[in-house]
Amino acid sequence: MDKGNKFYITTPIYYVNARPHIGHAYTTIVCDAVARRKRMLGYDTYFLTGTDEHGQKIERSATTAGTTPQKFADSVAAEFRALFEKMGISYNDFIRTTEPRHKQGAQELWKRLQEKGFIYKGTYTGQYCVHDEAYIDGAKPGDPCPDCGRITETVSEENYYFKLSAFADKLLKHYQQNPDFIRPETRRNEVIAFVKSGLRDLSVSRSTFKWGIPVPGDPKHVMYVWLDALSNYCTAVGLGSKDKEEQQKFDRYWPADVHMIGKEIIRFHAVYWPAFLMAAELPLPRAVIAHGWLLFEESKMSKSRGNIVRAESVIDVMGNDTLRYFLLREIAFGQDGSFSFDAVVQRYNSDLANDLGNLSSRTLTMINRYFGGSVPYPSPLVAKRDADDTIRDQAQRTIAEFNQLFDEYQFNRALESAWTLVASVNKYLVEQEPWIVSEKEGEENKARLATILYTAAEALRVVTALAYPVLPESAAKIWLQLGLGDITKFDLRELKWGQLPLGGKLGKVEPVFPRADKSTIERMQQMEQERKPAAAAQTSTATAPVPAGEGARPGQPATQAAHGPTEAAPAAKAAAPAAAAAPDGKISIDDFLKVEMRVGLVKHAEKVKGADKLLRLEVDIGSEVRQVVAGIAVAYEPEKLIGRKVVIVANLAPRKLRGLESNGMIVAASAGEDGKPVLASFLEDVPIGAKLK
């Protein structure tokens, strides 16, 4: 079958342990822009997104929230869908890994791997990171996970293994023969180095929890979440279906043309996934493309930092197109990029309100005023100037340049190129002064005026067609104002200079990008703040606390882990140490600064005789070693605490517990209904004695 005309693009499926935020929006917007452009270029485009809903974390989160894993997943998946609807995302399919079509397809993939002899049974004991759902090679009991810093758990289980080790050479050969398989180059090099360092067989089943897809023929085991999740790219287009139409769909669309992902999951997509597919004798995706992280004012947005921005705060105030344009224009795709409300407003005002907005409104307004709303006929002989040809030539170059850059996923440079044309046309208008020409008498001046406005309008049309995938709502409006009808019907392959119908009637001309004033930033910040307490209220019942090890950082109050995902912690509440918080009472910064919190290292830990809940700790806080008695024995074994960094309130008056003097308090979140303590800790290394403020 000829597949030349199809284009299949996927986002990663989003894990329902986190609520949707701007990072999810970013990946999805990139895919949406690419998909819209491909449709406009005549491709039979299939755009897939969805949610990843299995795994121990979800099971635990649901238990903590007092609900079932399915209901838990249903509610978060619904939030993702609602956000994508609101953002106008043009996906063709939204897959959930708890759907029957997916389970059946994932099991089909498993059976193929097993039939081909790539799955076997073995026993494994090792350190496991629950957060990342991954075993940590070479870790010892009590060691933190190198990826996320959380303390690993010792797990021993009889598992099924996938013979990943058999694929190292084949993978390397594939990378070599397909230089565009992994992009950008830095990620490709990283993956090649990883594979060259040697691949070990991969444990692909779990028997320590139930929330997953049962292993065919051995339902005591569930499939490893990544094997489950990755297979969505095939199951969504019909792998494993008995239905004829679904099978045809699979033949039509598989392999995917692009898996778009964040750089942190490159290994799963560029090593494990192609190895699974090779083993199952299925074709490999054409490209895995990794984007960088969104930084919020220079630091990584993450749950543990509590600085995650929600897409809604931008789109409710400034519209979908503003967020799309900002993310694609501001960030060099593939690299990390910085997000701030300030920068969004600046970018909007300069590029959209000023540059494109001005070009559009003054050109169309003048055509209305001087030519009764009909596109004027440019007079090539009588009234032509070199400046007109310069714009025409630049527009033609821009079309070629934009197409090339966009297809290389250099969105920022593609947009830059289009906006260079916008700037040139604005300058052209200033220099040609159509408003002055309009005041002069005579046919020649009339012809000159027509030529200027035709040139500007035609350049506007070119830019609008190019920008549509990034600015679908505004481009559609400008297109209508140009009198050109439905922009989605336009065939982008045809785009060239000189297609604006002469004498064509303009639509109703209205400003598309009103200027944003200073209050815009405040409104976005306010929405962000308003959403936080609301989210906190929800998450206390709907989302689990972060696993042990996720905690505060300097400058971030340590107690916020108590409120589940830390993005949800309201500032006022978080500012008070657990023991001192008055219900809903806000305190001043001065009150907070009275509390001296320091980083300490546990030198010694033991149970307190006759007290089930208490541990006696000796904690080095830099200046001295303190004895602290802490009620954390239900959650922590003393030997596992030795060598661990904790946060202690260092200026509490000493008190006696079971006859032992306690000099300070260990900061811990109280998680779940039974108030299980979870120690505050850091993702980065912090020196002993460091003060929290």
Neighbours of 196 (CB within 10 A): 11
The residue among 395 and 548 lying less far from Zn ion, judged by its C-beta, is: 548
The residue among 131 and 174 lying less far from Zn ion, judged by its C-beta, is: 131
Q: Which of residues 614-673 bind Zn ion (CB under 5 A)?
A: none
Piece of 126-134, 269-277, 300-308, 439-447 that binds Zn ion (CB under 5 A): 126-134
Least distance (Å) between residue 619 CB and Zn ion:
25
Interaction between residue 264 and Zn ion (CB under 5 A): no
Least distance (Å) between residue 221 CB and Zn ion:
22
75-114 mask for Zn ion (x: CB under 5 A)?
----------------------------------------
The residue among 89 and 129 lying less far from Zn ion, judged by its C-beta, is: 129
Closest CA to 410 of 183, 258, 186, 190: 183
Sequence letter at residue 191: V
Return the bridge partners of 100, or none.
none
Structure tokens at 510: 């209205």
For residue 658, CA distances in Å to 139, 363, 585, 649 come to 37, 83, 32, 20
Q: Which of residues 47-76 bind Zn ion (CB under 5 A)?
A: none
Sequence letter at residue 340: S
Q: Which long-range contacts (CB under 8 A, 24 or more apart) does 118-122 make?
A: 118/162, 118/163, 118/166, 118/279, 119/160, 119/161, 119/162, 119/163, 119/204, 120/160, 120/161, 120/163, 121/158, 121/159, 121/160, 121/161, 122/158, 122/159, 122/160, 122/161, 122/201
Q: In this chain, which of 38, 131, 263, 532 binds Zn ion, going by CB under 5 A?
A: 131
The residue among 129 and 641 lying less far from Zn ion, judged by its C-beta, is: 129
Residue whose entry in the numeric block shows the structure tokens 């019907």: 489
Which helix (H) or strand (E) covers residue 230, if one does? helix 225-230
Cβ neighbours of residue 82 closer than 8 Å, sequence gap 6 or more: none
Structure tokens at 233: 């790219």
Least distance (Å) between residue 146 CB and Zn ion:
8
Least distance (Å) between residue 253 CB and Zn ion:
34
The residue among 148 and 552 lying less far from Zn ion, judged by its C-beta, is: 148
Closest CA to 447 of 380, 391, 498, 500: 380
How many binding residues for Zn ion (CB under 5 A)? 6
Least distance (Å) between residue 14 CB and Zn ion:
18
Which helix (H) or strand (E) covers residue 156, if one does? strand 153-162
Q: Which residue is nearest to Zn ion (CB)?
A: 145
* Cα angle 62-313-683, degrees, rounded to a multiple of 5: 55
**Structural contact between residues 262 and 23, judged by C-beta atoms closer than 8 angstroms:** yes
- Indicate the length of the chain as a whole number: 693
The residue among 378 and 549 lying less far from Zn ion, judged by its C-beta, is: 549
Piece of 123-131, 200-208, 246-254, 416-424 that binds Zn ion (CB under 5 A): 123-131
The residue among 132 and 336 lying less far from Zn ion, judged by its C-beta, is: 132
Return the bridge partners of 160, or none.
121
Q: What is d(CA 263, CA 187) in angstroms, rounded to the nearest whole number?
A: 7
Q: Which of residues 140-169 bind Zn ion (CB under 5 A)?
A: 145, 147-148
The residue among 148 and 280 lying less far from Zn ion, judged by its C-beta, is: 148
Least distance (Å) between residue 127 CB and Zn ion:
10
The residue among 115 and 147 lying less far from Zn ion, judged by its C-beta, is: 147
Q: In this chain, which of 113, 129, 202, 463 binds Zn ion, going by CB under 5 A?
A: 129
Least distance (Å) between residue 242 CB and Zn ion:
39
Q: In this chain, which of 74, 132, 201, 620 binds Zn ion, going by CB under 5 A?
A: 132
* Interaction site with Zn ion (CB under 5 A): 129, 131-132, 145, 147-148
